[in-house]
Structure 1
Amino acid sequence: MVTLASALENAAERVPERTALVFGDLRQTYAELDATVNRVASVLAEAGLGAGERCAVMGVNTPGFVYALFATAKLGAIFVPVNPRSAPPEVAHILRDSGARVLVVDPALVQVATAATGQLDADAPALLCLGAADGHPDLLAEAVGRSAERAPSTVTERDDAMILYTSGTTGFAKGVLMDHHRLVWTGVTIPIGTIGMTEGASLVHVAPLYHSGEMTMMLIPGVLVGATHVILSHFDAATVLDTMERERTTIFFGVPTMYQMLLAEYLKRPRDLSAWRSSIYGAAPMPPEVAARLQETFAGVRLFSCYGPTEAGPSGFFSSPLEAVRRPEVTGYRAFPLMRVRVVDAAGKDVAPGEVGEVLLAGETVMKGYWRNPAATEEAFLDGWLRTGDLARLDPDGAMTIVDRLKDMIISGGRNIYCVEVENAVASHPSVADCAVVGRPDPVYGETVAACVTLAGGQALTLDELRAHCAELIADYKLPRELIFGPVPRNPSGKILKRVLREGMTTSTPQESRPKPR
């Protein structure tokens, strides 16, 4: 039986002097980390956090986030990470929905936290800070001087461990409930069983720790193998590369945009990254030209493409390094160990090669369900398989390529248009730095294609020029009919916020091209 708490305790007993955390000038061994977590757990227990209670934590990447995670696990409580960029109503929704007993926040977020708790109808959670803040207890200061002894625990791997709120790209977020078993197996199947995270690995954490990808694919499995965790508070390409060189880090996880920035910075000033062994990317497609340049520049690095929704751990399917470089447009070729994957039509029947269908997943890492939402849980499963809501094209060789969200597919004149196909064509234009495509209501065709484009520095682009470029790559009925310039809204994991984009486009003045009759 392995839980998050026992994983840390095992590492502290097995490799007590190995460096566990690096953050600025702070360097902590596993023995020191375990002792600190025990002290933090004592303070949380005193604040009213007990087995089965929820502890919400809203903070950027700091050691305090790690302490709070494992201290919550030691108490048998449920960890609820909160996006630190959330607005008060969004935080209030999570606190209300989860019924959090304790809220732990960075000092800089106290104002947001107090505004959120002020919107609650019931008793507000106890508010603790990861540092000094006027009028609020400092969790870390309170922990100093406490006993470092481990409290007796009866936590099992089937006990609830975490509620991961979905990004809310289509509305209010739902809480994905995970127990210790599911979280541990996510680490075993992806980074340990597939990517090659081994004893003594060194990981750089720059993607948000509160996000399921960074937490369950890097932090938790890293503790399982006794890895060194190098934490950066935010992404800056130069700082990341300098840190990777200095700390000799071996594994990096990020979204494709991060890799593009790292590549550009490295080409300006190379570093010694000879310790770098593996990389994982997901959440968005990797542009083929970027994948090719990454492979050419970092020849010794194994590049994995991974797909998996929060509801699955996030686990699903992947491409090996050779496959990811040879066909970067493909999302994945095979399921992770202990996972199964299907691509089905609207009737739930497996599609034939060449067809598009919804991705279904089943396996050890799939969620228990949505927290206190049985109706949504029932809707999320089909005969025991998790419905992802993602549409994928199944190739004859077994490759699966995500082409759209089921709810985002554009139907124009009775024809299905997959946004990702159009986005790939638009993104290949040399004047385009970023883009997103959505459907806009059309009185004749039902919907028409609208493209939101962020231009590369100093570039210009017209709708006719973009359509001429895309006409070489996609069918004419898929071509953008409207072109809007502006930043593409994304969540911290890199996913496009289509709902936000649609809302913003209602006030924009687009260039427009009416479709020809067909």
Structure 2
Amino acid sequence: MHLSAMLDSVVRSAGRKEALVYRDRRWSYGEFGAAVRRTATVLREAGLEPGDRLAVMTYNTPAFLFAAFGAWLAGATLVPVNHKLRAAEVEHQLRHCGARLALVDQEIGERATGAAVGTRWLVSHPDAAVSEPPAGSFEALIAAAAEWEGEPGADSDIAQILYTSGTSGRPKGCVHTHRGIALTATYTAATLPLRRDERFLVCMPIWHASPLNNWAMGTLLLGGTVVLQREYEPRVMLETVQRERITAVFGAPIALIAPVQAVPDFEAYDLSSVRSWIYGAGPMDADTVRRLMKAYRSENFHQVYGMSEMGPVGASLSPGEQVEKAGSIGRGGMVGVDLRIVTQDGTDATAGRTGEIWLRSDTRMVGYLDDEKATEEAFVGGWYRSGDLGRVDEDGFVTVVDRLKDMIITGGENVASLEVEGVLRGHPDILDVAVVGRPHDQWGETVVAVVVPRGDAGPSLDELREWLEPRLARYKIPRELVLRAELPRTPSGKVTKHVLRSGPTG
């Protein structure tokens, strides 16, 4: 189904129901649908033609969703842009996708408009007074526009170009159709499952694949309510959950851990309305899960696994499996997804063996934008090669061992960086950690631990090695230790290990 047709259907069935909440502002489905049609008029009058690309660089604000659905109704393609990018990075992305028109939040406009491209910029003022939006602002243009009378296009039309997190280098653009995104939302809603009375808090950046396609789209598909938190902040998340009676929250593990650690009066907040605490972009060990369940007074934790190339869809770990199968991504694929673990000889891995995770679903991207070689390398027939190494246990559950590119080979031995990181996280003086390989003229590579200490000073290398001695084989124990104030991460929470490898002492 075309995403505009999906919205039209929900507007007809749930017109008076609350669709969108941003701070103290609220839109029913009828109001949201009308705003989208006025937005389509604004975009067409600004020069956006069917098949063009609209770049959107905003915080989690209503303008993002108005622009997305407005672009789709106008026959154009949405290109979400990371609001943290600098001008040169924005320029690369806009040139790569060929965006003719773009939308940016006023607060970050200078960074965006400084990009030396021939793109026309519309500017959003999301927090201006509703009654008097600044003249010429995106909101003022929408308020004054007539509703677009056009009809949705075909579900095979291109809906999005999603740029990857760039954990291994420069991001690539994943090209997705309307049908693929609609199925992503459908499979997600069926897997969790989401409900028609859902009040979903989107506090992770909405321009990222999962907050947008899994959670915002999945909630809107059912006629639930999307509550936007402008930007993630632990206390604001708790306040919003309590005030809006939120039923589901998604974030990277740190987004659920941080409130417990950083908000002194955490226990004072009423979080009882939440049915689903959802995390992705990395696993959590059993001890961490237990601590969070106790703190949040809930056992309803879900883990999801997927990637932008697949919509994202992949696998999920349900609440009853969180402790017993901690660290696993689940058993097989989620609804609508096939999952295989393929060994080097091309056979499916049996219990105890490791192989690459392959995924197959109708949600898969058309390909990488203008990169035929990378597209060919990513697929084998209908299967997407994730680049993640997974190990299968005796019950069929899969644990991500490492990224293929993150496996460290030292003295002929393979060291899974995720395994070493998992052990190191149990050290009482370590807050965060990443393990990478550094080239070594004798060993090929040597193991380096990049550590964020819990206090003012972390452990010394000798202390760390002594602590690890009974816990890891000697060849897996780091030979170098680097202390950092924080680890470089993508907006989805993944550590950018290529940054650490290029200069881990930085």
Q: 2:203 aligns with which of 202, 206, 225?
A: 206
| Residues 288-323 of structure 1: CA deviation (Å, up to 9, x unaligned) | 222012223445452111111111111111111111
Q: Secondary structure at the match of 2:274?
A: coil
Question: Cα offset for 1:339?
Answer: 0.7
* Distance in 2 separating the partners of 1:76 and 1:98: 16
What is the 5 A alignment of 1:278-357? 278-357=276-355
Q: Is the 8 A contact 1:127 1:136 kept in 2?
A: no
* Distance in 2 separating the partners of 1:471 and 1:319: 32
* Alignment match, 1:79: 78
What is the percentage of aligned positions where both structures have the same residue? 38
* Alignment match, 2:250: 253
* Distance in 1 separating the partners of 2:411 and 2:385: 27
Quickly say closer, same or farther: Cα 1:137–1:347, change in 2 above 3 A.
farther
Question: Cα offset for 1:267?
Answer: 6.3
* Distance in 2 separating the partners of 1:350 and 1:268: 46
What is the 5 A alignment of 1:475-514? 475-486=473-484, 487-505=486-504, 507-508=505-506
Residue ranges of structure 1 left out of the alignment (5+ in a row):
509-518
* Alignment match, 2:403: 405
* Distance in 2 separating the partners of 1:227 and 1:480: 48
Q: Does 2:105 correspond to 1:111?
A: no
Q: Is the 8 A contact 1:284 1:495 kept in 2?
A: yes
- Give the letter for the 2:359 counterpart: L
- Give the letter for the 1:186 counterpart: T
Q: 2:267 aligns with which of 262, 266, 269?
A: 269
Q: 1:243 aligns with which of 240, 245, 266?
A: 240
Structure 1 segments of 4+ aligned residues over 4 angstroms from their partners: none
| Residues 443-493 of structure 1: CA deviation (Å, up to 9, x unaligned) | 111001001100112443111111122223221110011000002111110
Q: Does 2:165 correspond to 1:171?
A: no
Query: What is the number of residues matched between the two proteins?
Result: 498
Q: Secondary structure at the match of 1:178?
A: strand
Q: 2:375 aligns with which of 377, 396, 405?
A: 377
* Distance in 1 separating the partners of 2:136 and 2:461: 56
Question: Cα offset for 1:263?
Answer: 2.9
Residue ranges of structure 2 left out of the alignment (5+ in a row):
129-133
Which region of structure 1 is more displaced relative to structure 2, 238-247 or 409-418?
A: 238-247
Q: Does 2:12 correspond to 1:18?
A: no
What's the C-alpha RMSD, in Å, of the aligned pairs? 1.8
* Distance in 1 separating the partners of 2:37 and 2:106: 22
* Distance in 2 separating the partners of 1:318 and 1:182: 19
Q: Does 2:189 correspond to 1:195?
A: no
Quickly say closer, same or farther: Cα 1:99–1:445, change in 2 above 3 A.
same
Question: Cα offset for 1:277?
Answer: 0.4
* Alignment match, 2:131: none
Q: Is the 8 A contact 1:295 1:325 kept in 2?
A: no
* Distance in 1 separating the partners of 2:21 and 2:161: 27
- Give the letter for the 1:156 counterpart: A
Q: Secondary structure at the match of 1:128?
A: strand
Question: Cα offset for 1:242?
Answer: 1.5
Q: Is the 8 A contact 2:86 2:112 kept in 1?
A: no
- Give the letter for the 1:246 counterpart: R
Q: Secondary structure at the match of 1:407?
A: helix
Quickly say closer, same or farther: Cα 1:247–1:301, change in 2 above 3 A.
farther
Question: Cα offset for 1:193?
Answer: 0.6
* Alignment match, 1:47: 46
- Give the letter for the 1:473 counterpart: R
* Alignment match, 1:225: 222
* Distance in 1 separating the partners of 2:33 and 2:266: 41
What is the 5 A alignment of 1:383-398? 383-398=381-396
Q: Is the 8 A contact 2:286 2:322 kept in 1?
A: no
* Distance in 1 separating the partners of 2:108 and 2:136: 14
* Distance in 2 separating the partners of 1:339 and 1:226: 24
TM-score (norm 1): 0.93
* Distance in 2 separating the partners of 1:101 and 1:268: 46
* Alignment match, 2:212: 215
* Distance in 2 separating the partners of 1:333 and 1:212: 23
